[in-house]
Structure formats: structure tokens, C-alpha cells
């Protein structure tokens, strides 16, 4: 095995482990009508289930229902909270101090500076309607595959997570694959 791939061995050894057993990781906000409306805008997504309560009721939903694809939006934690400082530098391309996206923090993986999502699979159990608050429960590592790609050297990680609402009802199960990497030297 090449040396850079060996750095991922602790993650490979951890396949099957639940990194956040029993821990609930809540999204920043409840499912809100205004946020759903904003979600529809860039998609030009004209579906009355997502903006008309009467239409949603007619089709069996208790309130305006969120698009299936917005599941991840309701799971993203806040970028800023009272007491935090996340915009500390004025350089043009400085990102917020910490991205709270749906990546599992662990010391077992090499400290790659970049990542992006590459694959997602979702089983939907229950609709997400206005007023729901969602959380992730547990993050089981399903696979770790070191690979060199066009953008750099790193590994594809796949995690399985259960999604629950504030009533502890199962809403969905997701399997998210992300690629974490060190970019190639320019």
C-alpha cells in the first residue's frame, strides 16, 4: 500500500463503528414556510404542496410539506450562534471559520483541507411538514476508500445516519458519501 493510503488505515479499521452513538445533532431551524419558499426559488419549483396549506391538506398532509430534497437543509447546524465569531478575516476568499455541514469530525482521518459530497441515497419514511425539527442520530461509517482523483489525494467516506423529528419519529435514513482530499500541488 502506498504511504499516503496508509494514513487512512485507522478509518478503514473503524468501518462499522457508530461515531455518534445515541447523540442527536439538531439542524439550525425548524421546517418553516418562508424557508421552504426560499428553497423553491432557485429551482423555480412550482408545486402547491410546498406553499399552499389547503392543497397540502387536500393531499393528506397536515400542513405545507417540505420538498424531499430539502432534507439536508433542515439538518445543517447554525453557522453562527451567540458568543461565536465566524468572520474574523477580511481576505476575499476567507470562508466562515468552521463549516457546520454534515461531515463527521474525527481524529482518525488525516486533516484534509477540502471535501465535497459525491453520492447520496435516502429512504424516506415520513414527510417533513411545517413545524418539524430534525436531527441526525448516529453516524455509522460504512466504507473508506482511499483514492487519487483529478483534484487530489484522499478518500471516499460513506456514512449512514438516521433522521428523526422532535417527536423521535423516524423521518429518513441517509447514506452520504463525501470525498476528503489534499489538493494536488499546482
With CB under 8 A as the contact rule, which of the stretches 8-16, 66-74, 129-137, 140-148 interacts with other proteins? 66-74
Q: Which is nearer to other proteins, 6 or 184 (CB)?
A: 184
Please tell me whether residue 111 binds other proteins under the rule CB under 8 A.
no
Residue 179 to residue 119: CA distance in whole angstroms: 9
With CB under 8 A as the contact rule, which of the stretches 6-14, 43-51, 131-139, 160-168 interacts with other proteins? 43-51
**How many other C-beta atoms can be found within 10 angstroms of the C-beta atom of residue 155?**
23
Map grid coordinates 423529528 to a residue: 165
Q: Give the rounded distance of the alpha carbon of 66 from its chain centre.
A: 16
DSSP assignment string, 111-170: --SEEEEEEEEEEE-S--BTT--EEEEEEEEEEEEEEE-SSEEEEEEEEEEEEEETT--E
Residue 120 to residue 160: CA distance in whole angstroms: 10
Least Å from the CB of residue 149 to other proteins: 9
Least Å from the CB of residue 166 to other proteins: 19
Q: Which is nearer to other proteins, 14 or 40 (CB)?
A: 40
Specify the DSSP element, H or E, that contains 38: helix 33-40
Map grid coordinates 465535497 to a residue: 116
Please tell me whether residue 117 binds other proteins under the rule CB under 8 A.
yes
Q: Which is nearer to other proteins, 13 or 80 (CB)?
A: 80
How many chain residues bind other proteins (CB under 8 A)? 47
Report phi then psi at 42, rounded to 5: -65, -20
Q: Which is nearer to other proteins, 8 or 179 (CB)?
A: 179
The only residue of 15, 17, 96, 170 in contact with other proteins, by rule CB under 8 A: 96
Residue 165 to residue 167: CA distance in whole angstroms: 5
With CB under 8 A as the contact rule, which of the stretches 9-17, 39-47, 137-145, 158-166 interacts with other proteins? 39-47
Q: Which residues of the chain form contacts with other proteins (CB under 8 A)?
A: 28, 35, 38-39, 41-49, 55, 59, 67-70, 72-73, 76, 79, 92-93, 95-96, 99, 101, 114, 116-124, 127, 150-152, 177, 181, 183-184
Amino acid at each position: 500500500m502506498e504511504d499516503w493510503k496508509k494514513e487512512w488505515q485507522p478509518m478503514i479499521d473503524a468501518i462499522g463503528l457508530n461515531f455518534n452513538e445515541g447523540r442527536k445533532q439538531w439542524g439550525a431551524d425548524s421546517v418553516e414556510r418562508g424557508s421552504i419558499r426560499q428553497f423553491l426559488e432557485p429551482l423555480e419549483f412550482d408545486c402547491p404542496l410546498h406553499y399552499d396549506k389547503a392543497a397540502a391538506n387536500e393531499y393528506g398532509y397536515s400542513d405545507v410539506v417540505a420538498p424531499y430534497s430539502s432534507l439536508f437543509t433542515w439538518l445543517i447546524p447554525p453557522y453562527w450562534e451567540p458568543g461565536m465569531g465566524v468572520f474574523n478575516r477580511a481576505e476575499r476568499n476567507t470562508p466562515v471559520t468552521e463549516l457546520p455541514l454534515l461531515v463527521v469530525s474525527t481524529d482518525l482521518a488525516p486533516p484534509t483541507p477540502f471535501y465535497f459530497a459525491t453520492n447520496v441515497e435516502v429512504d424516506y419514511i415520513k414527510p417533513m411538514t411545517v413545524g418539524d425539527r430534525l436531527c441526525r442520530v448516529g453516524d455509522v461509517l460504512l466504507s473508506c476508500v482511499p483514492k487519487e482523483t483529478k483534484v487530489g489525494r484522499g478518500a471516499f467516506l460513506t456514512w449512514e445516519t438516521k433522521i428523526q423529528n422532535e417527536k423521535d419519529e423516524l423521518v429518513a435514513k441517509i447514506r452520504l458519501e463525501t470525498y476528503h482530499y489534499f489538493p494536488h500541488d499546482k
